[in-house]
Homo-oligomer: A and B are copies of this chain.
């Protein structure tokens, strides 16, 4: 970490914006398959010195889904393309351990790390939604098994990334030695879920290991993050909840023998910015008015894991058993409904706006104040910024909020390094096998 602690910023990139109705705003462009928009937005985040741009992912689709998830680029090919039109910003994509293969995953992220000269990050997810299994000729494992698989999967990937010493590919024309046979390491992994011999068929990448991100908030999710991750994404509704999560996560990090600042905690943060608080509130209301209950309800129902069709939308959220698969997000939403006394309709609208992430309404100073408060009171080391729609929602943030954070010394004014590891203040790892 650098001497002075500073905020880390990610841009959470979604083709059609984060607010479910964001794309309906007159100034919104929808970029699910519009690379040009995604390129411009990513370059704007780089111009504003963000640490990284982040791509979520899912492996299903349907017309009732959030418009940003009905259709989207495959994240790894999109990252590779974005690597070619940027120079400094980190490039993070989600890839599932439940529906992936360690050899493929290790290889693709290493490849992106090479293509981007050290800017790749893998957001490790285990995939919550059981319906995903319908596209993969298998059944969906239970929550705890998914995390057991993920623990082993991540170890295999890290092992494969250490297949070759950094200086293994000597390519000596005179002797004819292309790769030094003394500098290759067989993984020979034999575990409960995977047996992978290695070596990986790509040289060790510029960052040694691409950055690891984890976003599970359950106990097993926090443990996986605490043991392996460099960055944690999380959904937190209130300052107190965020502080609690931060403390819990950091203490787990230390329990695994790592320094607390080895992991940056970055909650999602959806800013709606106006010249006045009133204007900001009106902006959100404008977006909310376009949200029909029938498009908001499926988003709530998939997070709660129950149909709510038989309940009065203007009544309270009933007490429902929470599925093991969806525990952390479902608990967060139930707590929110109870704390703020929300009806089903109000909760559904809230989910449609921010999917459980923290929404902050106000002037640029209000937004900067909130970020500073969360950062300084150890609720966050940074934020995954979720513009309600693109590109204007991001421009409001980069042009109006970022300069305030920079003036206050809370955020960089220039990149001081060229890799994502540099931006996060993390050292390049030595070979684990040595």
Contacts and interface: CB of A to CB of B under 8 A. Distances in A.
Interface of A: 16, 21, 23-26, 28, 30, 32-33, 35, 58-63, 67, 69-74, 76-81, 83-85, 99, 101, 103-104, 107-108, 110-112, 114-115, 134-137, 163-164, 169, 171, 173, 176, 178-181, 184, 193-203, 290, 292, 295
A202 B73 contact: yes
Contact of A63 (B23, B107, B135, B184): B184
Can you tell how many copies of this chain the complex includes?
2
Contacts of A184: 62-63
Contacts of A193: 137
Contact of A137 (B26, B62, B135, B194): B194
Contacts of A180: 63
Contacts of A292: 176
Among A32, A176, A201, the most chain B Cβ lie within 10 Å of the Cβ of A201
Among A24, A178, A194, the most chain B Cβ lie within 10 Å of the Cβ of A178
Contacts of A110: 74
Contacts of A163: 61
Contacts of A111: 73-74, 77-78
17 contacts: A28-B173, A30-B178, A61-B198, A62-B184, A63-B184, A70-B178, A73-B114, A76-B80, A77-B80, A77-B112, A78-B80, A80-B81, A81-B81, A81-B84, A99-B104, A137-B193, A137-B195
Contacts of A107: 74
Contact of A99 (B67, B101, B202): B101
Contacts of A25: 173
Nearest to A188: B134
Contact of A70 (B23, B24, B80, B179): B179
A419 to B, nearest CB: 16
Given A179-B70, A179-B71, A30 B171 contact: yes
Contacts of A21: 176
A202 B33 contact: yes
Nearest to A132: B103
In order of increasing CB-CB distance, the 5 nearest A-B pairs are A61-B201, A74-B111, A77-B80, A80-B80, A134-B197
B77 A203 contact: no
A20 to B, nearest CB: 10
A237 to B, nearest CB: 27
Given A81-B84, A110-B74, A111-B73, A16 B178 contact: yes
A380 to B, nearest CB: 31
Contacts of A26: 173
A33 B71 CA distance: 32
